[in-house]
Chain A
Amino acid sequence: MNILVCISPVPDTTSKINFKEENTAFETLGIQYVINPNDEFGLTRAVHLQQKVGAKVTVVTVGDTSCEPILRKCLAIGADQAIRVDLQPQDGFQVATQLEALCKKTNYDLIITGRESIDYNGGMVGGLLAVHMGIPYVPNCVHLDLSGNDVALEREIDGGKERLKSSLPLIVGAQKGLVEEKDLIIPNMRGIMQARQKPLEVVSPIEVTAATLVEHYEKPPEKGAVKLVDAEDIDGLIDLLTNEAKVL
């Protein structure tokens, strides 16, 4: 069984976001990159399946050489091999098209993306790839169990969960809940040493133009100071929310 886990390196969740070149580009200076948290839940589930059913786990990212430390980390966590498509993508459409080209060369039974990346929040790669490949897609996936070719899944929906069944091949959009936070694998020294020996293949991108271009970034306007209300003055708070903020 072949599992492909699509990885997006993203700024660490504690990062302060700034822009450069007259707000046309993201300021990467001083930014620590991590595996997109949603992808990491997916990767962990894939490594569990590798241990349970002997699946081979490939991680892939579409990006320049700066992404390689993140791929090495995925190998240290337990992926068997890594692929980097050598392109600095402009949008999710470009990423999905590159992945499609890759998936047409090698058959993957299960493809895992994150629900969304926490930087551009596009949330589209899995869905686009699924339609292009003609296979099903389950985003917001919080449960995935394999039994031969049959898959039982759960999708988190607004105010509940949906249970689904499908057969392989299949694409899922992983998120927290697919594995628990405490089950995330922290690479040990042995894993880190082994990761250096594991294959990391660099693939040339196919030619495709982006569907969208970001022209300009801006930060939210500075907020005014908080209005403090005395803990004894609950009526004062209710009055402010009713008559000033007009939200009650």
Chain B
Amino acid sequence: MAVVVYLESQKGTIKKTGFELASYGRAVADALGEQLIGVGFDLQDTKSINPYGMDVLYNVDTPEGSFFNADRYSSTIAGIASKEKAQVIVVSSSADGRYLGPLLSAKLDAAFLSNVVDLPTQYSPLKVKRSCFTNKAFNRTLSQKECNILSLSSNAFGLNEQQGDVEVRSEPYAEATTDLEVTAIDQATDKVSIADADIVVSGGRGLKGPENWHLIEDLASVLDAATACSKPVSDMGWRPHSEHVGQTGKPVASNLYIAIGVSGAIQHLAGINSSKVKVVINNDPEAPFFKAADYGIVGDAFEVVPKLIEKLKARKH
């Protein structure tokens, strides 16, 4: 019996979400008295997982130059999960994690539980807290299946370091079951993605136009943060869709969310509700965002933000 976690990586390096999944998986494995098993693809730094108490890591080699393939990845992970008699499989809530979850669930006849925000409160049958209504509420879901795939909301559990010396094994890459193929990836490699970021800096209509976005970008840059925007901003084409956060955009669950010139429509607040600390800078004291935020400045973004950038830069040195 085992708990299996899928470790996402970029260029062979395990992403931070992988460490969070391992921390969560370790806690689940301890509760069940089972082994924690990781699965990664083309990993070059398997030692980086050592501080997270993983017992075994399957490192799967894929052919040179191949891209993420949800079909083959899920078949490979499902194969390992079957072999190890996994009871719980944990994936992240990234685009790839949420892609794999349902495929794994169908391939293993397991239940799929998305947006998990805490450890299960019981295991047989499994019961766990999840967010729903796009973070406007939570529910306690009871599984009816023996094997369960959990997609963990990012930053819901955090990191938990401990001793570990992982045993690395190899595993063949499963064959494709469909003809779907990734042909190319267009990725802004120099930027932190919203899903991976600890801090997200977001701009709204209050910034008056795309030409003023250097304020958002400069602040994000000094904080190593990702940039995001409100729905009207992406609808008007000031910023790409991929930056739109909210109910119909991307969810945000960062440690710090800084909203600049964002009024805080209910749909926007729903999408960012899982962020731990929210800061709003807006010249309208009546903006609904002030009701949702932890800290706020009523002021002109064009005056406040440059000062904030200066102070943060000075602090860095």
- A interface with B by C-beta (< 8 Å): 11, 13-14, 17, 19, 37-38, 92-93, 116, 118-128, 130-132, 134-140, 142, 155-167, 170, 175-177, 181-182, 209-220, 223-224, 226-231, 234-235, 237-238, 240-241, 245, 247-248
Contact = CB atoms under 8 A, between A and B. Distances in A.
A119 B279 contact: no
A149 B180 CA distance: 13
B115 A212 contact: no
A163 B256 contact: no
A13 B248 contact: yes
Nearest to A41: B248
A165 B183 contact: yes
A114 B132 CA distance: 16
Given A165-B183, A238-B311, A220 B98 contact: no
B297 interface: yes
A121 B132 contact: yes
Contact of A209 (B127, B144, B193): B144
A18 to B, nearest CB: 9
A17 B292 CA distance: 16
Interface string B180-201: 1111111111011111101100
A167 B179 contact: yes
B27 interface: no
A164 B142 contact: no
A145 to B, nearest CB: 13
Band of interface residues on B: 35 or more
Given A118-B248, A123-B98, A140-B95, A241 B279 contact: yes
Contacts of B186: 160-163
B280 interface: yes
Given A17-B136, A176-B241, A130 B103 contact: yes
B251 to A, nearest CB: 9
B139 A211 contact: no
A177 B138 contact: no
Nearest to A152: B183
Contacts of A13: 247-248, 266-267, 270
Interface string B70-82: 1100000000000
18 contacts: A19-B137, A37-B248, A118-B133, A118-B247, A125-B102, A157-B96, A158-B193, A160-B186, A164-B181, A170-B180, A219-B137, A227-B296, A228-B296, A234-B308, A237-B295, A238-B315, A241-B277, A241-B295
Interface string B116-142: 000000000001000111111111111
Contact of A229 (B115, B266, B296): B296
Interface in B93-119: 94-96, 98-99, 101-103, 105-107, 111-115
